[in-house]
Amino acid sequence: MDLAELNEAYQMLGNISMEIYYWWAIAFMFAIHAGFLSLEVGVSRVKNVLASSIKNFMTLAIVFPTFYFFGWWIYNAFTNGLIPRFDEVALAALPWSSSMGPNLSDNMTGVFWGAFALFAATTASILSGSVIERIRLSAFVILASILGSVIWILGASWGWHGEGWMLLELGYHDVGASGVVHLVAGFFAFGVVLNLGPRIGKYLKDGKIAKILPHNLPSTFLGLMLIFVGFFGFLAGCLIFVVGDQWTTIYGTPATLSAFAFNGLMGFAGGIIGAYIGSKGEPFWTISGGLAGFISVAAGIDLYHPALALVIGAIGSFLVAKIGELLEKKGVDDPVGAISVHGFAGAWGVVAVGIFAAGYPNISGPEISFFGQLAGMLISAMLGFIPGFVISFVMKKMNVLRIPAEVEAVGLDISEVPASAFPEGIPVTNDISFFNKKTS
C-alpha cells in the first residue's frame, strides 16, 4: 500500500468513526424522550396517562419531518438575523439537496442533522411537560412544530453557529446549549402556559393552592434518570468530531470530552445538592435539580474548573427550586417544573459564563463578556417567550388551545384515547359529578 492509498484508508476510517460517533449520540438522545415520557406519565393523574404518552410520540413524529423540510435550512440560512442567506451552505441544507439523502460521498450531513433533529425534539418535549392534562393535541402539535423547527433553531443559527451574529457581535458563548435549547424552550412554554391557564382544581376559590400530586412518583424519578443518561448524548452532539485533529465545540474552539465529563458530573451533583437545600428535601425538586445542574453548567462546560461547576450547578438548582415555588404561588401551573428547570436554569447558565469566564477569547468575534452573555440571554428569552405567548393567545381566542372543561374533568384517556391504561381495575380518578353537572 503506497502513501496515497494509506492516506485514503486513514481518511475513510476517520469518516466512519465520525459517523459512528454521531450515530450513537442520536441513540443516547432518544433516552431523553423515553425519560420525558416516563416523567409526564408519572406526573399525570391516572385519567391522563395515555394521552400524555401519545403526546410524546407525536412530538417526535411531527418534529422530525418539519425539521427536515425547513428547520435545518433555517439553521444554515439565518446566521445574520431575519434575512436568509442563499449561499452554497444554505442551499445544501434544502431538502432537495444531494446532501439531504443517501449520498455516499457525504458521511457527515445525515448524522449531524439527526443530532440536531433530536435537539429540536427536546425543545418540544420541554413544552410538552408543562402543558399536560389540559391542552388539545392538535394545538400541541402545531406549537411543537413551530418551537422545534422554527423558533429554537433560529436562536441556534444566531448563537450556536460559527457564523452566527450573536457570536460575531456579542462574543456569545453557549457550548452546551443552556440558552439556545433550554432557555428558549422554557420561555416559549412560559408564554403558552400563561394563556393555557392552570388545571381545574389547582387553585381554590379562596386563592389557596391545591396540590395535584403525581400518581406515580417513582415513574417520574425513572424518567429523570433516563434524561440524565440521554444528556450525555446531548452533550456529545455539542462537540465537533474532527478527523485526525482536536475535538472542537460547535463554534470551532478546542475542547475535550474530559472537560464535558468533569463539569457535567460535577454540575449534576451540585444541582442535586442545591435543589435539596432549596426545596428542603422535596423529592421531585431534588431529583429535578440534577437536570437543572447539568443545564446550569452546559453553556460554559468547556471552560470551567470542576469545583466551579459544582458551585454553579448548586446555585442554579437552588434558584430553580425557589423560582418554581414562586411561579406556582403566582398562578403558573407547570406540573413538571419545565419553566424553571429549563427556562431559568438556562438563563442562569448563560449569565454564569459572563460572570466566571469573562475575558476568555472566542475563535471569532469579541471575547466573552458579562454584557454579551446578558444580552444573549435576554434575546433568547424574548425569542422563546414572545412567539409562545402570541401564538397561544391567538389559539386561545379561536378556542382551539384548551380542551373543554368537561373533558378535562373526566380525563383525556376516557374521552379521546381508544384504550385503557389500567384495564384490570385500577380506578380512574376523575370528577364524575363535575362531568355530570356539565353535561346534564
Q: What is the pLDDT of residues 54-66, one digit of tens each?
A: 999 999 999 999 9
Q: Write down the pLDDT at residue 195.
A: 98
Q: What is the 8-class DSSP label of residue 202?
A: S
Q: Write down the pLDDT at residue 436.
A: 46
Per-residue pLDDT reduced to its tens digit, 207-236: 899 989 888 999 999 999 999 999 999 999
| Mean pLDDT, residues 92-109 | 90
Q: Write down the pLDDT at residue 430.
A: 46
Q: pTM for this structure?
A: 0.93
Per-residue pLDDT reduced to its tens digit, 258-308: 999 999 999 999 999 999 999 999 999 999 999 999 999 999 999 999 999
Q: Write down the pLDDT at residue 440.
A: 44
Q: Write down the pLDDT at residue 154.
A: 97
Q: Write down the pLDDT at residue 422.
A: 77
Torsion 215-400-144-299 (CA) sign: negative
| Mean pLDDT, residues 397-422 | 89
Contact between residue 383 and residue 155 where contact means Cβ atoms under 8 Å apart: yes
What is the band of 432 on the pLDDT scale with cuts at 50, 70, 90? very low
Contact between residue 202 and residue 328 where contact means Cβ atoms under 8 Å apart: no
Residue linked to cell 409526564: 40
- Of 371 and 107, the structure prediction assigns the larger pLDDT to 371
Q: Write down the pLDDT at residue 1.
A: 62
Alpha carbon dihedral 302, 308, 311, 312, in 10-degree steps, equals -30
Residue linked to cell 385503557: 420
Nearest to 170 by CA among 370, 11, 333: 370
Q: Write down the pLDDT at residue 106.
A: 85
Q: Write down the pLDDT at residue 425.
A: 59
- Residues 235 and 241: their CA atoms lie apart, in Å, by 13
What is the band of 427 on the pLDDT scale with cuts at 50, 70, 90? low
Percent of the chain past pLDDT 70, that is, above it, reads 95
- Residues 201 and 317: their CA atoms lie apart, in Å, by 28
Per-residue pLDDT reduced to its tens digit, 321-350: 999 999 999 999 999 999 999 999 999 999
Cell numbers that stand for 394 in this block: 391567538
Kindly state which CATH superfamily the domain 3-402 is placed in. Answer: Ammonium transporter AmtB like domains (1.10.3430.10)
What is the band of 426 on the pLDDT scale with cuts at 50, 70, 90? low
Per-residue pLDDT reduced to its tens digit, 72-98: 999 999 999 999 999 999 999 999 999
Q: Write down the pLDDT at residue 435.
A: 43
- Residues 58 and 53: their CA atoms lie apart, in Å, by 9
| Mean pLDDT, residues 94-118 | 91
Domain boundaries, the chain: 3-402
Q: Does residue 193 surpass a pLDDT of 60?
A: yes
- Of 317 and 162, the structure prediction assigns the larger pLDDT to 317
Q: What is the 8-class DSSP label of residue 218?
A: H
Give alpha helix (H) positions in 243-361: 257-278, 283-298, 306-329, 338, 345-356
Per-residue pLDDT reduced to its tens digit, 130-148: 999 999 999 999 999 999 9
Q: Write down the pLDDT at residue 103.
A: 86
